[in-house]
Chain A
Amino acid sequence: MATHRFNETIPSELDAAERIQDRIIALLEQEGFSAREVFGMRLALEEAIVNAIKHGNRMDPGKTVRIQCEVDPTRVYVEVEDQGPGFNPIDIPDPTAVENLEKPGGRGIMLMRAFMTRVEYVGKGNQVLLEKVRDPSES
């Protein structure tokens, strides 16, 4: 069973974020993940990596984001680590609460959780682990 693995450090630039997302998505497509799984993975990667660049590193060109990725035919595992101070996801208010529904921010983590099998913030909260276990009924 083929496992694709890589570990890459990217600058805090949105173009670099898009390129690495495309690289991971190409591996999912190569392994035959369903269109829905690919959609969810792209969304989760976008949220995790853009959060790392914008909120973690605050677009500081002197800081980088480390991305570790493993893709095999049964699962995708991605770690995204920024060089920011970290945060506690419990501090993010529920964006679906009535008082927050019309506020523009705060939905990224919720979307990651909805589309991934596991989303975990570790350490001081500057590292997020994303795991998607393939659903055999979808492929």
Chain B
Amino acid sequence: MAAGQRRLDIEDAGDVTIARFVDKKILEENNIQVIGNQLYGLIEEDGRKKIVLDFSNVEYLSSAALGKLITLNNKVKSAKGKLRLCGIRPDIYEVFAITKLNTVFDIKPDRDQALAGF
């Protein structure tokens, strides 16, 4: 797949931006770089402050993807924004739990609950 291909579907719900991963696997370094750049652009160029990341398509992710998510979370925080994750299947939630990143990220079961009170 081309490195420049879109990796996220972006949708607005009021003042919240919902970014849904298109890929089933967020593993390969080039893809992760493209995803990271697209996500950082939401904060740094578009000035969006409330972002929901929807993982419902994602079946695999690697530690490199976790690293990008942490960097994104740090960027959102320094821009005084908020990030929520949703739609994470149990296998992947376990990856967050093992690494204790379930304590770093605000994780909701689904999109509706992620939008509620955001």
Contacts and interface: CB of A to CB of B under 8 A. Distances in A.
Given A43-B60, A46-B62, A101 B27 contact: no
A69 interface: no
B100 A101 contact: yes
Interface residues of B, number: 24
Given A43-B60, A110-B98, A114-B98, A105 B67 contact: yes
A107 B98 CA distance: 10
B27 A46 contact: yes
Nearest to A42: B60
B70 A102 contact: yes
Interface in A14-67: 14, 18, 35-36, 39, 42-43, 46-47, 50, 54
B99 A107 contact: yes
Interface of A is mostly: helix
Contact of B95 (A14, A105, A111): A111
Interface of B is mostly: helix
B63 A108 contact: yes
A96 interface: yes
A31 B14 CA distance: 49
Interface residues of A, number: 24
A55 B11 CA distance: 37
Given A95-B99, A110-B99, A104 B70 contact: yes
Given A102-B74, A104-B68, A39 B28 contact: no
A42 B62 CA distance: 9
Most buried by B among A95, A106, A110, A114: A95
Contacts of B98: 110-111, 114
Contacts of B28: 14, 18
A14 B1 CA distance: 13
A103 interface: yes
Interface of B: 27-30, 59-60, 62-64, 66-68, 70-71, 73-74, 91, 95, 98-101, 103-104
Interface of A: 14, 18, 35-36, 39, 42-43, 46-47, 50, 54, 95-96, 101-108, 110-111, 114
Given A36-B91, A104-B68, 20 more contacts: A18-B28, A39-B60, A42-B60, A43-B60, A46-B60, A47-B63, A50-B62, A95-B99, A101-B100, A101-B101, A101-B103, A101-B104, A104-B71, A105-B63, A107-B63, A107-B66, A107-B67, A107-B99, A110-B99, A111-B98
